[in-house]
Amino acid sequence: MSSASSVAARNARGVLTEGRSPEELREIVSHWGAELELAPAEVIIEWAAATFGERFCVTSSMGDGLLAHLVSKVVPGVDVLFLDTGYHFVETIGTRDAVAATLDVNLISITPVQSVAEQDATYGKDLYRTDPDLCCKLRKVEPLSRMLGGYDAWATGLRRAETRNRVIAPVIGWDAKKGKVKVSPLARWSDEQVERYTAENGILVNPLAYDGYPSIGCEPCTRRVAPGEDPRSGRWAGLNKTECGIHT
C-alpha cells in the first residue's frame, strides 16, 4: 500500500508524464462526453486509461470494492485513492485493506494535514458537530484536491440512482473546482446491476452495508437507515447537508 507522501515524491521526480492544460482537458470532455454517455462501463474505463494513462486514478470510499475491481480488470495496478479521515468505521478500514490485498491495484491512503487531535486543538473538539462543512473540507475535500494534482482524470463510483442530487451526474464531466476530468463509469447503473455484478464477481462489500448502512461515511456522521428511507438519509442526519463537498 502506497502513501500519499511517497506518490507525491514520485511525482516530483518526474516519473509521471506532464499533465494537460485545463483548456485541453475541457476540450476532451466537450468532445467525448456525449460520445460515451451510453457506453458500457468497461468501454468508458478503457477510454480513460488510453486517454490519460498514468495520470488516471480511481477514488473509493470503500463502501465496496466494485469500482476498484472493474477498473483493475482493464488497468491492472491502477492507483486507487482512499481518504483516511481518521473517523472511519473499523469495517471501512478493513474493507480498504482487503481491497489492497486481493485486487491488482495500488492502494494509496490520503490523510489530512492535521490529525484528529491536532484539529480538535485548533478548532475545538468534535468539529464534525460544530461545523460539519469545515470538517469535511479539512479531512476530505482539501486532501483529495492536493492529491489529484498528479492526475488529469479521476474515476468515481457516483451513480444517478443513489440520490436525486446525482441525477445529472455525467459519465464524463469537468470538475471546475479541481481542474480535472471526472469519470463516472457507473453513473447509469441501477441498484440491480450493482447487485448482479457484486454477486457474479464475488465483490468485497463493507460489512456495514448488510447492517443498515447503505451509504457509509465517517462513523460520527453516519447512522443506520430504516427500510424504505433514502439510502443517503443516514449521512449527516438532522443536518441540512447531503454531500461532503467532493462532488459539489
Q: At what angle do helices 41-52 and 66-74 cross, to 10 degrees?
A: 60
* 244 a catalytic residue: yes
d(CA 79, CA 75): 9
Cα gap 76→12, rounded to integer Å: 23
For residue 10, give the 3-state DSSP assignment: helix
Question: Do 102 and 80 meet the contact criterion of CB atoms below 8 Å apart?
Answer: no
Distance of alpha carbon 95 from alpha carbon 66, whole angstroms: 12
User: CA 17 to CA 180: how far, in whole Å?
Assistant: 15
Kindly write down the DSSP assignment for every residue of 62-118, as one continuous string: SSBSHHHHHHHHHSTTEEEEEE--S-B-HHHHHHHHHHHHHSSEEEEEE--SS-HHH
Alpha carbon distance 113, 131 (integer Å): 18
User: What is the helix, strand, coil percentage profile of the chain, to 5?
Assistant: 45, 15, 40
Catalytic residue among 136, 218, 221, 244: 244
Q: Which grid cell sits at 223?
A: 447512522
Q: Which residues are catalytically annotated?
A: 244
